[in-house]
Amino acid sequence: MNPGTAKMVQILRLGSILFLWLNAYAYFSRFVDPVFLAGALVLSMGLAALLRLWGGRLIWQWVIFAGVLAGIRFLAQGIFSLLAQGGPSPADGLFLWFDRNYFPLLIPMGVSFALTTWALRFPGFIPWERLVNALLLALIFSFQAGYKGQVYPHPIWQGLAVALFLFVELWMLFLIFRPAVKARVQKANPWTRILFPILFLIPLVLGLAWFLLLKYEEAGTAGGGGLMRPELFRFDFSQFVKLESEISMNEDLVLLYREQGPRQKRYLRRYLLSGYSQEKGFFVDPPAQVQDETIPPVGQIRLKLPDPELPDHKPVVQEYYIVNFDPTSLVALGYPVEVVPFQKWDKSSFVGLYQVTSKVLTPAGLRNAAADPPPVLSPEVQAHYLNYGQDEKIRDLANTAAAGARTPWAQAMAVQNYLQTQYTYSLKPGVSDTGNQLHHFLFNSKKGYCSYFAFSMVLMLRSLGVPSRVAVGFFTQEEEELMNFYPVRANQAHAWVEVFLGPRGWVNFDPTSPNLAPGEEFHFSQGLPLDEFTKYITEILKNTLLEKNEPSPEDKSQENSWEKFVQASLGHLGMWWPWYLLGFWAGVLGLRAGIRWAGVNLGSPRGRVNRAWNQFEALGRRWGHKKPAGMTALDYAALWTGPAAEKALRQAQWVNGARYAADFSLVQAQQALKDHRDLQKFLGSQQPWVIRGLSLLWPWIPADLGRRRRKS
């Protein structure tokens, strides 16, 4: 590395470390003043640089560093003590101020000192420092428990920050390895030019992405009570539900639910899981003949769904204000018949809003369902809803639980009651010795969370010949109602059972036991903090709901148009950024192609040939023939060997003609350009197909890579 590059690398290192700790600052901003943070980092890195100049053993450098830190505190305490002499004074607060800043910064200072010391002492460590930085960044973000925006207010900003960080880190790698690559190119191993960045870039990016996604997934699964999975920056329910040995729950607000009328507990369904296999558990698998099990996404326009027109069903209008959930995922009660998506307003706290009208079984209908005759379904559908894996132990248990019950209703009630009373609720059902978690629950531990209960009830009912399926979604807590709004948090994710009772369709049953397993504690959500709830409700009440397919009022759209544009763009970017990235790159390549085409097809004949020559020189750089400044065209052509030499010479002659001949006609120019195209074609044919393919994406890729490799 030459001194200039080394300086640049050190500046970038400094920026990178500052960036890392600025991200971490969100965690201790309550205690640490930004000026103190900046000072502490400058001190630790400056001290590392000074000690490097001094030399000495590493251990002594650390001793001095620790001594300086301790000394600073000692000195500060001494000064503050002097200032605190006499009566009460504002200086008394300096002790507390200093310690509140000093102690949280010990770790950042230590890490910065360590990294800088190593980087200065062992330049070979600098590439590895990139990896350390990536890990540190991952660690900082991993504390966020699933991208809830603690460090950044929105995942997009976090994405941009990570992109910036990666850019700086990769730039450093590029600067570090550029001389090495050049040297190696001269030693006829140009693969190094690509291999070095790839060797670092791929593990770095993949490692970081893997770690972040893993943490994201873990946090999402834990937060969703084993039911929810993270989608791109949002949560949604999994279409496959397995039984976990342990889950935890977080209290993040997922959505606000609004329904008029007296407060009541509701089951807001996201998915219906009717497919079953012992290996996969329950999963989404709607039979072709059954329409109501296919959940459509919430789109951009009003959606009408078929009304089953069942007896004792009344329309219920629900509104969903989505905070941390996939806004296209439809959540609804009963049989949804209409979905109306709403526009978001400016600076909305919600990622999506929609209204659903569902047909819901009335309480009277529920009572009537008890007397309904057994359901009749087609044989295929019947077989689908009665698949219980032919598990005899479960069938025996079902017979015990529903002994004496004659009708499907009575059997469902009996099984529900059996599970609620004989089993207990637990977030730690434990691990089965045999690998069969459901058997472990039913016959051994007798404790589990909602999925265990729902799985068990469905399989037991199916073994008794009662069609049933698992429903997953959220439940609302009636005591949390405020102005007809109900907060729904991640720990309200729930699984329950729908039983087909004939004329009145599918009816909800919830077999989850209300009794906690002995010795276990569980805190169900106690609602939102009133301030937060009020903030959301105020926002909703102050804004009007406009259907998505309705135009916004003209005057409103002019308000904060720039902010609105940025916000809308960011929101859109959040969902589609990979495509935008690809599109952007395609645009760059297209623009380049257009400029090149225009260069040789437009303008004066001399100009066209000159520009064609420039393109040839650029192509030459790809082939390892960089034209030194001052070299003539003919001398440059002489650099080429083999069949290309003759073609290069012709190009040189053409460009000399274009530059120096008294007359240069369009016909000559066209001939020159024809030769230029021949040369391009020829050189293209000399490249391996891999390089040709890659050059479509990255036109600056070394073209002689394959040839040299074959030679070597």
Residues that bind other proteins (CB under 8 A): 30-31, 80-81, 84, 87-88, 92-93, 95-96, 99-100, 103, 258, 260-263, 317, 355, 482-484, 521, 523, 525-530, 533-534, 537-538, 541, 544-547, 550, 553-556
Distance CA 315, CA 336 (A): 9
Phi, psi of 354 (to 5 degrees): -155, 165
Instruction: Specify which residues 495 forms β-bridges with.
Output: 472
Give the rounded distance of the alpha carbon of 239 from its chain centre: 18
Distance CA 708, CA 712 (A): 6
The residues, ordered by sequence, that sit 6+ positions from 138 with a Cβ below 8 Å of its Cβ are 208, 211, 212, 215
Please say whether the beta carbons of 669 and 609 come within 8 A.
yes
Q: What minimum distance in Å lies between the beta carbon of 477 and other proteins?
A: 13
Give the rounded distance of the alpha carbon of 127 from its chain centre: 27
Pairing assessment for the beta strands 447-448 and 424-425 based on DSSP bridges: parallel
Longest dimension (CA), the chain: 111
Of the pair 31, 191, the CB lying nearest other proteins is at 31
Of the pair 366, 545, the CB lying nearest other proteins is at 545
Distance CA 563, CA 333 (A): 36
Distance CA 690, CA 675 (A): 25
Of the pair 239, 343, the CB lying nearest other proteins is at 343
Distance CA 113, CA 44 (A): 5
Instruction: Specify which residues 336 forms β-bridges with.
Output: 358
| SS3 label, residue 446 | coil
Please say whether the beta carbons of 454 and 494 come within 8 A.
no
Listed residue (311, 421, 325, 291) closest to 361, CA to CA: 311
Distance CA 549, CA 558 (A): 18
Which tokens in the block code for residue 415? 């099984």
Distance CA 156, CA 160 (A): 6
Please say whether the beta carbons of 470 and 273 come within 8 A.
yes
Which tokens in the block code for residue 389? 């894996």
Q: What minimum distance in Å lies between the beta carbon of 339 and other proteins?
A: 13
Instruction: Specify which residues 339 forms β-bridges with.
Output: 303, 356
Phi, psi of 66 (to 5 degrees): -60, -40
Of the pair 113, 533, the CB lying nearest other proteins is at 533
CB atoms within 10 A of CB 101: 18
Of the pair 552, 712, the CB lying nearest other proteins is at 552
Of the pair 76, 570, the CB lying nearest other proteins is at 76
Q: What separation, in Å, do the N-terminal and C-terminal C-alpha atoms of the chain show?
A: 27
Instruction: Specify which residues 425 forms β-bridges with.
Output: 448, 516
Q: What minimum distance in Å lies between the beta carbon of 482 and other proteins?
A: 6
Pairing assessment for the beta strands 267-273 and 468-475 based on DSSP bridges: antiparallel
Helices 34-54 and 58-83 cross at an angle (nearest 10°) of 140
Alpha helices in 295-401 (DSSP H): 363-369, 379-385, 392-401
Which tokens in the block code for residue 195? 């291999």
